[in-house]
Amino acid sequence: MALLPIRHYPDPVLKQKALPVETVTEELRTLARDMAETMYAAPGVGLAAPQVGVSKRLIVLDCAGSGEPPQLITAFNPQIVASEGESYEEEGCLSVPGYYSAIHRRAQVTVRFQDMEGRSVEMTAAGLLAIAFQHEIDHLDGVLFVDHLSPLKKGFFRKKYQKILEQMKEQL
């Protein structure tokens, strides 16, 4: 397995709609395992293929709490088929390092996807897992969590993120 470089805003690949996975191949399984290793090392709770420069509809998630065993979910072609409730929680993103903001999401989602064997899976998620599914599926559609901000908050984001990028360059 290998750690993959994570693309950062404003990389153009993050704004592209990812292509569907026609068949779950060994190459895509390897990509999924590498994405999981990258997500854990970052550390994060989710990662979408476009974040590592691959325009495929593939996400990995693990929202297990500290001290809990890993609960890795690998999802090819995930889609939300039902949702309910409201959530307003602070989010961050591995592709927008150092910036966090509260985002409106659905509190519960039912998601349909293919697993590592290409089998169809449907599951209902709530809490952090529901938020993570929505966040990562947004990536597959070329949407970043900062795209959900109000115009005023987007202005604050642009100013603050410029400073974050300057600090990151200084640390290199």
Which residue has 């997500």 as its token pair? 39
* Pairwise CA distance, residues 53 & 37, whole Å: 16
In a domain, 138, yes or no: yes
pLDDT for position 119: 97
Structural domain range at position 76 = 12-171
Q: Is there a domain that residue 63 lies in? A: yes
The pLDDT value recorded for residue 134 is 98
Q: What is the reported pLDDT for 88?
A: 96
CATH of the domain at 137: 3.90.45.10
What was the pLDDT predicted at 108? 98
**Given this model, what pLDDT does residue 165 score?**
82
Domain presence at residue 4: no
C-alpha 29: how far from its chain's center? 17
Q: Is 91 a catalytic residue?
A: no
Q: Is residue 5 domain-resident? A: no
User: Structure pTM?
Assistant: 0.94
Residues of the chain scoring pLDDT < 70: 172
> Which of 86, 89, 122, 136 is labelled catalytic?
136
